[in-house]
C-alpha cells in the first residue's frame, strides 16, 4: 500500500514567494509547524492508501477529468485559517485567477474517482495552499492581527500545466512527496 494524493505542483517563483512569507510569519507565530516550502502544493484530492497497481487507473481518471481543460492561471492570495480564528488548526493562502476552471477540474476529478471507489468529499472544495499546522495553543489575537496584516499577500501568478499523482511517505523529518504519474494539460 502507498499513501497518495493528486495535486498541482507550484513553480519555483511561487515557492520562493511563499518561503518569504513563511519566514516573516515564523517569529510572530513560533508555535506553528510550518510546511517545507518545496512540499507546498495545491491538493485536488487526497486518496489515502492505495495498491501500487491502481496508479494507472487513477492516471486515466485524471486524463479523462482534464481532457477538455487547457492551461489556466492561478496565484496565491491572502492568508486565512481552518476552521476559524478561535480554533485555528491550519494556516493557508487562498487562490485567485481561473477558479471556475479549477473547480470544474476538481468536480470532474471527484466524479471519475468516485467511479473507482474513492468517495466524494462532503465539504465544499476550498482551493488553498497549506502553509502551516497549529498543534499547540496559540494567541488568537496575535493570529487575527497577523492574518489582517497579510490580507493583500499575493504570489506571482502561474500557469497550471500539469496534474500529478504523488506518493507521500511520512518520516520523522517530514513528508517526502514523490511524483508517480503526471498528466499534462493542453496548451
List active site positions. 41, 128
Per the structure block, which three cell numbers stand in for 148?
A: 489582517
Cα separation, 25 vs 147, in Å, equals 10
What is the DSSP secondary structure assignment for residue 62, as one 8-state letter? H
Distance CA 19, CA 13 (A): 10
E strand residue ranges, 90-138: 90-97, 129-134
- Strands of 2-8's sheet in order across: 42-50, 2-8, 162-169, 176-184
Burial of 93: CB neighbours in 10 Å, binned 0-12, 13-18, 19+ = buried
Amino acid at each position: 500500500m502507498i499513501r497518495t494524493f493528486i495535486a498541482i505542483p507550484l513553480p519555483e517563483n511561487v515557492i520562493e514567494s511563499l518561503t518569504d512569507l513563511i519566514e516573516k510569519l515564523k517569529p510572530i507565530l513560533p508555535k506553528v509547524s510550518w510546511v517545507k516550502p518545496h512540499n507546498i502544493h495545491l491538493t485536488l484530492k487526497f486518496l489515502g492508501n492505495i495498491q501500487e497497481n491502481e496508479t494507472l487507473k487513477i492516471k486515466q481518471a485524471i486524463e479523462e477529468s482534464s481532457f477538455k481543460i487547457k492551461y489556466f492561471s492561478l496565484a496565491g492570495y491572502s492568508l486565512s485559517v481552518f476552521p476559524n480564528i478561535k480554533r485555528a488548526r491550519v494556516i493557508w493562502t487562498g487562490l485567485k485567477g481561473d477558479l471556475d476552471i479549477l473547480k470544474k477540474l476538481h468536480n470532474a476529478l471527484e466524479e471519475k474517482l468516485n467511479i473507482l471507489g474513492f468517495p466524494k468529499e462532503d465539504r465544499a472544495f476550498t482551493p488553498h495552499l497549506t502553509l502551516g499546522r497549529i498543534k499547540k495553543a496559540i494567541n488568537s489575537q496575535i493570529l487575527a492581527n497577523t492574518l489582517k496584516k497579510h490580507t493583500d499577500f499575493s504570489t506571482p501568478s502561474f500557469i497550471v500545466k500539469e496534474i500529478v499523482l504523488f506518493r507521500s511517505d511520512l518520516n520523522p523529518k517530514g513528508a517526502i512527496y514523490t511524483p508517480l504519474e503526471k498528466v499534462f494539460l493542453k496548451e
